[in-house]
Structure 1
Amino acid sequence: MKKTKKLFGALTLTLLLGLIVGCGSSGEDKNSADSSNKGTTDIQKIKDAGVIKVGVKEDVPNFGYMNPDTNKNEGMEPDIARLIAKELTGSEDNVEFVGVTAKTRGPLLDNGELDMVIATFTITDERKETYNFTTPYYKDEVGFLVRKADKLTDTASLDGKTIGVVQSATTKEAIEKQAKELGVSFKYQELGSYPELKTALTSKRIDAFSVDKSILTGYVDDSTEILKDGFSPQEYGIATKKANTELNDKLNKSIEQWEKDGTLEKIYKKWNLD
C-alpha cells in the first residue's frame, strides 16, 4: 500500500510540473506572437505586401472605367489610387485594381479582399457607422439623364414617370426626398449597372436615368441630355475598414495635401470634371 501511495504521489507531482511548464511555455508563445503582431500596422502590412488592393468602378467614364482597347483602369479614381500606391509602396504601379459595383464594394471590403474602396462611394452618416471615410475628394449632386425627344424640362416634369437607379446606391432615397418637396411621385426600376440603365433609357423602358451628374456626363449622346435641376449634394470619400484608423488618417492627410497643392484639380481637368 505504501509503495502504491508513493508511486501515485510521484505521478501526481510529475503531472503538476508538466502542466506548470506547459502553461508557462504556452504563455511565452502567446506573448511572443502578440509582440510580433503588435508591431504590424495597417500601413506596414501594405508595405510588406508591396501592393495595395483597391476597389474601383469599371463602368463610369471619367471616374473609373476599364478601357477595352488598353485593358487598363482609367479615370480620376484609379489615378488617385496610383498616387496612394506611390506614397505607400514607392511606385504607382504597385496597385491591384478590383472592379466593384455599388452592391459589391462593401462586402469585398468587409471580407478583406480590398484595402480600400475608391468608387464614387457617397459619404453618409449611416455608412460611417460601418466604414472609415476620408475627407471628400470630390463633390457632386444628383441629376437626371433624359431623352431629348421627350422634351422634359425639370424634375417636376418627370411626375409619374419611371426613374432608373442603380441597386444599393443612395440615389433613390435622394430622389424620394426631392419628390416630397416638389409634391410629385415617381416609379422606379433598379438595375445592376450604369450601362444597363443607359440601355433601358435608350429602349424606353425607363423615362430617366438618375445618379450623380458627373457620372451621367459619361453617358450623354446625341439623343440624350442632363436636366439642369440638381439636388442632394454628394461627397465621395475613400472607404476603409472601421478598424484601420491609421490607414484612414494617412489617406486623410494625403487628400488634404493634394487639395491644397492643386494635385486634385489637375486630375479633375485631365478627366473633364468640374
Structure 2
Amino acid sequence: MSESSRRPRQHNPEESPTKAMAWALVRLRDEHELSLGQMAKSAGYTRSTLSRVTEGESLPKLPQLQAYLKGCGVSSPPWETLLKHAQEAVRHENRDIKSLQDFAVALKSRCEADLPKQSSDKLLPDASVLATTWHRVASSTLESAATTPLPALPALPAPTEPEEPEPSRQERPKPHPPTVRPAGTDDSMRSEQPSSPRSAAGPLPPAAKPPPTPKPPRTSGRHMGLIGSATVLALLASGTVWAIAQNNGTPSHGRAPSDRQTTATTPTSPAEPSPDDPSMERLNAARKGKVKWNVGVKRDQPGLSGKVGNKWTGVEIEYAKAVTEALGIDPENIAFFPRGTSGRAELLENNEVDMFVGTYGISEERKKGTADHPAVLFAGPYFSTPEKIMMQASEGPNNAQIRGRSIQVNALEDLPDDTRVCVVQGSTADIFLTQQKKFEKRDKQSDYSLCVNNLDENYDAVLTDFTILQNFVQENPGKFVIASDPFGSPEYYGIGLKQTSFALQREVCKAMEKTADRAKELYGKFAQQEAKVISDLTECPAA
C-alpha cells in the first residue's frame, strides 16, 4: 500500500502536546467515519498531504490543518486556535507549565464539542493532570539525556603521508570515515549503507602517476578527531532523547497502550501469516490482567448492543463476554469501543481494538480490503440473517407510507423510484445497491438509528439486516413494517480481527467452539424468517 493510503498512526495523547494534537485529529476523522480517499476528494488535496497531518512527529502547518478540517467537513477557526495553543505549548514544553495548561484546557474543550460520539473527554485526564504529565515527560527526557553516560570513543588514527602523490578525485573516491557505534549495538540496529568501492572490490590497483598538482591544506589528525567526536556525541545524545521520549509516555485512559505499529496492507489480497503474531502478546497479557482486552462493538442497536448509563447491554455484548471468557480472560477486564459500520476495519488495523463483535458481515470484499478500507480476518460465522426493508407502517398488511402514499411493499422491486432510501455507509445493503445500480441518490448514514429516527420525515425505507430491523420494530409496536421478501444474499456474522492476527484467529475459533451452546441461547430468539444460528465455523482454519 502506498504511503498516501496508509491508515493514520494511533498516538498516546499524554506523551506530548504534539502527540495529543495528532491524537485529536485522528479521533476527529474517526468521528465522521471518513476514509482518506473521501477526505481528499472533499478537500481537493492529495491523500499523502492529509496523512502527514496526523503523523505526530511535528505539529501540522496551518494550510495542512485547514485542508484536513475541510476534508472532515468541520469548521476550521476553533481548530486553528487550538493549533496556536499547541504551538505555544511545544515552544515552552519543559519550561512553562502555564502554556501546557492552556493547551490542555483548549484540547479538552475542543474534544467535548467535536467528538461527542466517542466521549473523548473521558479518554483524556483532567487538564491539570495532562499538563503536569507533559511537563514531567519533557523534563525527565532532557534530564535523562544529559545524565546518560556515553560510550567511550576509540581514538582516530593520525594521518600518514602517502609514499606517492594521491590520485585525482575522479580516480579514487574519498574513503568513508570510520563508523563509531555504541557498545552492545548489533548489526540489526544499524542502517544498511552502500559499501565503498574499496570494501566491495578489494584494494585498488596502483594508480598511474598523474602530473604533480598542488596539495590542498591538510587538516591535522587532532582537529579531525575533535570534529568526529563532537558529531558522534551529538548523534548519540539525540538518539538517547528520542528513545526516552518513546518510552516515557503514560498509558492512555480507557485502554491499554499498544506497542505495535500499523503495517502497510495490500488492498487486493489478504496478508500472509506472520510468524510472530503481536496479538498473542496482547492476549497473554490480558489473560494475566496486565492490560484490558479491547472489543469493538456497534452502538445504538436495540437488543444487540447499546449503552444504558455506563453499562453495555445486548446480545452481542453478552456473546463478546462469553468468547472473551473462553479465551481465558476475565470478562471484567473488557473495554468496549463503539464504532459505526464503516469504521470497524480501521479500528482493527490501527490496533485500537483486539477483536470486533458487532453484526460484522463476512464478505470477500472485506476479507481482501479496498483502497479505502484495510482487509479484515474473520473467525466464524456464528449467525446468519437475510437483508430486508423496513418502512413506516400504513393501513393494510405489508402496507407502507412512501412519499405520503399507502403502498403494499413485499420486495425491493415494489419500492417506487422516488422512494427516499437510507442505508449505513459501507453496509452490505449499501454495497448491494451500488452493484445493482438502484436508488443511487440514497442517503448514507453512520448509524442505523440515524436512518430509523428520521424514517417518518426524511426517509421512506431503511435497508439492512433483518435481525437489526426487527429489534427496531419490537421497540416501536405498530410504527414500522418489514417487507416479507429478502433481497441480495444472507449476511453471515463473524468476529473481526486484524488481517495479520492468524494466531489469535485460531484462539478465537477455539473459544467460539466452546461457546456454541451459549450462542444458541443468546441468538435463538432472533432465529426466524431465515435467520439462524450457525455452528459450522467455515472461516476458521482446520485443526
Give, as a single letter, the amino acid of the residue that structure 1 aligns with 2:526: L
Q: Which runs of 5+ in 2 are unaligned?
A: 1-156, 161-176, 190-259, 261-274, 369-374, 395-400, 402-406, 528-543
Q: State whether residues 367 and 376 of structure 2, in contact with CA within 8 Å, keep that contact through their aligned partners in structure 1.
A: yes
Q: Provide Cα deviations, 1:240-269, integer angstroms capped at 9, x if missing partner.
A: 11111111111122223433xx22111114
Superposition pairs for residues 1-274 of structure 1, below 5 Å? 7-8=158-159, 19=180, 22=181, 25-27=184-186, 41-49=278-286, 50=289, 51-68=292-309, 71-129=310-368, 130-149=375-394, 150=401, 151-155=407-411, 156-160=413-417, 161-175=419-433, 187-203=441-457, 205-220=458-473, 221=476, 222-231=478-487, 232-259=489-516, 262-269=517-524, 272-274=525-527
**Which secondary structure does the structure 1 equivalent of 2:459 belong to?**
coil
Task: Tell me the distance in 2 between the aligned counterparts of 1:256 and 1:193.
Answer: 31
Give, as a single letter, the amino acid of the residue that structure 1 aligns with 2:462: F
Q: State whether residues 327 and 508 of structure 2, in contact with CA within 8 Å, keep that contact through their aligned partners in structure 1.
A: no
**Which secondary structure does the structure 2 equivalent of 1:93 belong to?**
helix
Give, as a single letter, the amino acid of the residue that structure 2 aligns with 1:188: R
Task: Tell me the distance in 2 between the aligned counterparts of 1:107 and 1:86.
Answer: 25
Larger Cα-atom Rg:
2
Task: Quickly say closer, same or farther: Cα 1:228–1:256, change in 2 above 3 A.
Answer: same
**Structure number having the greater helix percentage:** 1
Aligned residues between the structures = 245
Task: Decide which moves more: 153-162 or 140-149.
Answer: 153-162
Q: Return the offset for 1:78.
A: 1.3
Q: Provide Cα deviations, 1:60-103, integer angstroms capped at 9, x if missing partner.
A: 112211124xx311122211221232233441111100011012
Task: Decide which moves more: 56-65 or 78-87.
Answer: 78-87
Q: State whether residues 85 and 93 of structure 1, in contact with CA within 8 Å, keep that contact through their aligned partners in structure 2.
A: no
Q: Return the offset for 1:111.
A: 1.4
Give, as a single letter, the amino acid of the residue that structure 2 aligns with 1:102: T
Q: Return the offset for 1:195.
A: 1.4
Q: State whether residues 433 and 439 of structure 2, in contact with CA within 8 Å, keep that contact through their aligned partners in structure 1.
A: no
Task: Quickly say closer, same or farther: Cα 1:248–1:55, change in 2 above 3 A.
Answer: same
Task: Tell me the distance in 2 between the aligned counterparts of 1:61 and 1:52.
Answer: 24
Give, as a single letter, the amino acid of the residue that structure 1 aligns with 2:420: T
Give, as a single letter, the amino acid of the residue that structure 1 aligns with 2:522: I
Q: Provide Cα deviations, 1:125-157, integer angstroms capped at 9, x if missing partner.
A: 111121110121111111011122134331222
Q: Which runs of 5+ in 1 are unaligned?
A: 1-5, 10-14, 31-36
Q: State whether residues 162 and 186 of structure 1, in contact with CA within 8 Å, keep that contact through their aligned partners in structure 2.
A: no
What percent identity do the matched residue pairs reach? 24
Q: Provide Cα deviations, 1:186-216, integer angstroms capped at 9, x if missing partner.
A: 751212211110122122x211111100100
**Which secondary structure does the structure 1 equivalent of 2:335 belong to?**
strand
CA RMSD of aligned residues (A): 2.8
In the superposition, the TM-score normalised over structure 2's length comes to 0.42
Task: Quickly say closer, same or farther: Cα 1:162–1:186, change in 2 above 3 A.
Answer: farther
Q: State whether residues 43 and 88 of structure 1, in contact with CA within 8 Å, keep that contact through their aligned partners in structure 2.
A: no
Task: Quickly say closer, same or farther: Cα 1:256–1:40, change in 2 above 3 A.
Answer: closer
Task: Tell me the distance in 1 between the aligned counterparts of 2:364 and 2:384.
Answer: 16
Task: Quickly say closer, same or farther: Cα 1:91–1:24, change in 2 above 3 A.
Answer: same
In the superposition, the TM-score normalised over structure 1's length comes to 0.79
**Structure number having the greater strand percentage:** 1
Q: Provide Cα deviations, 1:24-77, integer angstroms capped at 9, x if missing partner.
A: 7211886xxxxxx98885233233143210110121112211124xx3111222
Q: State whether residues 133 and 240 of structure 1, in contact with CA within 8 Å, keep that contact through their aligned partners in structure 2.
A: yes
Task: Quickly say closer, same or farther: Cα 1:146–1:186, change in 2 above 3 A.
Answer: farther
Task: Quickly say closer, same or farther: Cα 1:107–1:7, change in 2 above 3 A.
Answer: closer
Task: Tell me the distance in 2 between the aligned counterparts of 1:191 and 1:81.
Answer: 25
**Which secondary structure does the structure 2 equivalent of 1:238 belong to?**
strand
Q: Provide Cα deviations, 1:161-209, integer angstroms capped at 9, x if missing partner.
A: 22110112121232456x67xxx86751212211110122122x21111
Report 1 or 2 for greater relative contact order, CA contacts < 8 Å, sequence distance ≥ 6.
Answer: 1
Task: Tell me the distance in 2 between the aligned counterparts of 1:273 and 1:105.
Answer: 23
Q: Return the offset for 1:8.
A: 4.2
Q: State whether residues 277 and 503 of structure 2, in contact with CA within 8 Å, keep that contact through their aligned partners in structure 1.
A: no
Task: Quickly say closer, same or farther: Cα 1:133–1:102, change in 2 above 3 A.
Answer: same
Task: Tell me the distance in 2 between the aligned counterparts of 1:89 and 1:28.
Answer: 39
Q: State whether residues 323 and 515 of structure 2, in contact with CA within 8 Å, keep that contact through their aligned partners in structure 1.
A: no
Task: Quickly say closer, same or farther: Cα 1:86–1:258, change in 2 above 3 A.
Answer: closer
**Which secondary structure does the structure 1 equivalent of 2:500 belong to?**
coil
Task: Tell me the distance in 2 between the aligned counterparts of 1:227 and 1:152.
Answer: 9
Task: Tell me the distance in 2 between the aligned counterparts of 1:175 and 1:40.
Answer: 37
